[in-house]
Structure 1
Amino acid sequence: MALDWLLQLASAALKLFIHPIFYFSFILAFIVGMFRVTRERKDFSTRIYDIYQEIRFILPSSLAIGAILSMITIAAGLALPSGLLNFIAAVLIIFSIGGFFLLSPAWTMGAAYGLFVLSEWFDYPFIPYGNLHLQAILTVLSIVTALLVIAEGVLIRKRGHQGTSPRIETSKRGLKTAVHLARRLWLVPVFLPVPSSRPLEPFMDWWPVIDTGAVSYSFVLFPFLIGFSMTVRSTLPSLAVKSTGKSIMIAGVLTLFIAASSYWIWQLSAVAVLFVVLARLAIMLRHYNYEKHRPYFFTTQSKGVIIAGVLPASPAQKMRLDIGEIITKVNGVQVSSEPEFYKALQINGAYCKLEVIGTNDQLRFVQGSIYANDHHELGLIFAPEEKEYMDDSIFTE
């Protein structure tokens, strides 16, 4: 039995490389990278990250998440019909047209669930599932949705804040300022049992936990796409993104409890999916409303210049300068604008000493060498030097 299971899993893993979603994810990330580079060059006259930045994040961090989810789906036998998985793949591709933001499992899996239910409600079953139990399929689908939302939250919290891209934005008062765009695409391969004519001996009498009515099963390694896009204006990108990721994780866990309860009351599967859709929407609106009435973070400082971006492999990165830090002195000279910064930098063409206020509000001293071929001086991106914008509502209660 063990050998048969291993062969099935190995075969499913190899078939991942012929799944259209696998290659589509890399093409999509490459296209988004092209547009990002174009925007960065327009805003800052240089690219921050190369065109392959989005591609680098697709798999490494998500493979471990996919492995954990696979252990759960295999152990519990969370089976979905292949026809439904093909429909989910189509939903993922269609939703990707709207950007990474629409690739949250709350939207994609919620849409798949809703359309699946409506097709049965209106007696138009265009998603084939044979003679399987519809109620059991809906229960499994809601549980898988909850697991993917938890995975989304973990990925956002752990990886979503890395490599955010600065951009120039014009405020409501017509002033230019820097904001940060956190945008990621992850491919999460998950092993799922699917009803099949090929016999696979269960490892326990109770497997699968939720009986869909299938006689035998095989495995597929399905590549779920999880996307994330968020613009951060009023705080450090890492703080906002991590907070959002934590909230999504909590919403996913609560959804999982409701979805698991649908094992006894199948209608709760619909409640679980509706809950996660509304929760994800509430998280998005909370971030929007929070930033709506707060000042921009990357604005002109009274003392020093604030770092809006750091070029990879630059002297600034080697000196461990970070986004959101404020440089107050360069080679002993007080600076309050970008021209002053570069003028003070020229005092010593081969070496520089900086006084920096870190994101923890602590003063620290940084020094490093500058070489003739170093790109864009130190490799720092500064916010536009315009008056800070604040909403009048901040001062009125």
Structure 2
Amino acid sequence: MVETWLVELLKGTGKLFLHPVLYYLVFLAGILGVMRVKRERKNFHIRAHDAYYELRQLFPLGLLCGLVLSIIVVAAGIAVPFAAILLIAGFTFLWSLTTKVRLISPVYTVGAAFFTTILIAENNWSIPLFSKSFHSIGDKVYPSVVVVLGLLLIVEGVLILKNGSKGTSPKLAKSKRGQSVGVHEVKRLWMLPLFMLIPGDALQLPFDWWPLFHIGAKEYTLIFVPFAIGFNQQIKGMLPKEAIQLHGRQVITLGVLISILSVAGYWYPLISIVIAALAVIGRESLTLMASLKDENRPFYFSKKNHGLMIIGIIPESPASKMGLQVGEIIAKANGVLVRDENTLYEALEKNRAHCKLDVLDKNGEIRFVQRALYEGDHHELGILFVPDERKYDKKIG
């Protein structure tokens, strides 16, 4: 039996590299990086992170989360029909065409696949090219799909909490009064490879209770499925890290609630429909509430009377090595009061070998940072600011 499991694991892993979603996500992540760099260069004449940054975020944490979740799914024996796997992939492609990255979230792709499976089973629809997979649908409602949806929601929240706030992108906007202000935006894709149990002829049932969330079959096989998780949030009224991590914790709470409720569908399958709808409504509500609350806040990254607020830090720049943070305010440079970019750089020109800054942190407390400057260092320390009105108008004109 152990040998059979090992063979199925290897075969299931090999199928991952045949799945088109894997390569499609690589393509989308690359596109997101290129678009971000173009916008940052338009706003600041320099990019914060290189175009491959989104691509580098696609796999590492997702692979770890996928390993943990795969152990849970296989150990509990959460089985889903192969038709649902096909539909999830289809909706991943379909929702991506809207260009709204947040719609490539499990609650929308898995949720849509769940309801579509019900419609197909109810109406006995025939799906071209995949008629065999869809004809094998026996039940009209599969509670196990909703269980997977709840677990994926938890993982989505973890990814947002741990990775979403890294490398947020600064951008320029106009306030209602026509003033130039700054906002932060994150558009992120993660790939979550997950071992799934589907009806097959390889793995016989090792225990009477396994699989717990069965779908009527007596034998199963393993398949490694790349799930896509998309996230998009724009923040104007808070520090981006605080806003994004708050959103991540809220998504985790929703995921835990849906996961607990979804278990009831094993005994009362029709409840799964209500729970799946609740998951979609809940996830959409979290996004809407975050947007409305942020909209009602004043702009965080705006011109200050007591210094220059940092809207972005270029990695590996002198500013990054000095430990400067987004949202901090530079009050003095080399002893000179700073009111705009010109006075900052004029103060730095007085001593090209050394830089000393008086910085106000997010709590308004002052700290001092200093560093020797070397030939080849970024001439503006690698700090991005909201430019003054004339400079901004020139850039966007």
The residue type paired with residue 173 of structure 1 is R
Displacement of 1:372:
2.4
Deviations 1:197-231 (A, max 9, x none): x3313332211112211131110010000000000
Displacement of 1:12:
1.1
The within-5 A match list for 1:135-284 is: 135=140, 138-196=142-200, 198-284=201-287
The residue type paired with residue 152 of structure 2 is L
The residue type paired with residue 144 of structure 2 is V
Taking structure 1 as the reference length, the TM-score comes to 0.93
Match status 1:370 vs 2:373: yes
Cα 1:76–1:382 shift into 2, 3 Å: same
Displacement of 1:130:
4.2
Instruction: Name the counterpart of 1:8.
Output: 8
Match status 1:86 vs 2:86: yes
CA distance in 2, matches of 1:19, 1:227: 18
Say whether the 8 Å CA contact 2:121–2:139 is kept in structure 1. no
Instruction: Name the counterpart of 1:390.
Output: none
Say whether the 8 Å CA contact 1:132–1:213 is kept in structure 2. no
CA distance in 1, matches of 2:262, 2:225: 21
Deviations 1:171-195 (A, max 9, x none): 2232221100012100000000111
Say whether the 8 Å CA contact 2:83–2:137 is kept in structure 1. no
The residue type paired with residue 77 of structure 1 is G
Partner SS for 2:204: coil
Displacement of 1:376:
4.2
The residue type paired with residue 308 of structure 2 is V
Say whether the 8 Å CA contact 1:142–1:273 is kept in structure 2. yes
Taking structure 2 as the reference length, the TM-score comes to 0.93
CA distance in 2, matches of 1:52, 1:5: 37
CA distance in 1, matches of 2:105, 2:126: 25
Say whether the 8 Å CA contact 1:262–1:269 is kept in structure 2. yes
Deviations 1:330-352 (A, max 9, x none): 01111111111111111110110
The within-5 A match list for 1:86-125 is: 86-97=86-97, 98-125=99-126
Instruction: Name the counterpart of 1:38.
Output: 38
Say whether the 8 Å CA contact 1:48–1:310 is kept in structure 2. yes
Displacement of 1:100:
1.4
5+ residue gaps, structure 2: 391-397
Say whether the 8 Å CA contact 1:309–1:323 is kept in structure 2. yes
Partner SS for 1:300: coil
Deviations 1:11-54 (A, max 9, x none): 21122122111111111111111111111110000111111010
The residue type paired with residue 102 of structure 2 is F
The residue type paired with residue 17 of structure 2 is F
Among candidates 334, 338, 357, match of residue 331 of structure 1:
334
Of all paired residues, the percent bearing the same amino acid is 39
Query: After the TM superposition, which segments of 4 or more aligned residues of structure 1 sit over 6 Å from their partners?
Result: none
Deviates more, 1:169-178 or 1:348-357: 169-178
Displacement of 1:122:
3.5
Instruction: Name the counterpart of 1:134.
Output: 139
Displacement of 1:129:
4.0
Say whether the 8 Å CA contact 1:177–1:386 is kept in structure 2. no
Report the number of matched residues: 385
Displacement of 1:94:
1.4
The within-5 A match list for 1:374-385 is: 374-385=377-388
Say whether the 8 Å CA contact 1:139–1:269 is kept in structure 2. yes
CA distance in 2, matches of 1:132, 1:27: 32
5+ residue gaps, structure 1: 388-397
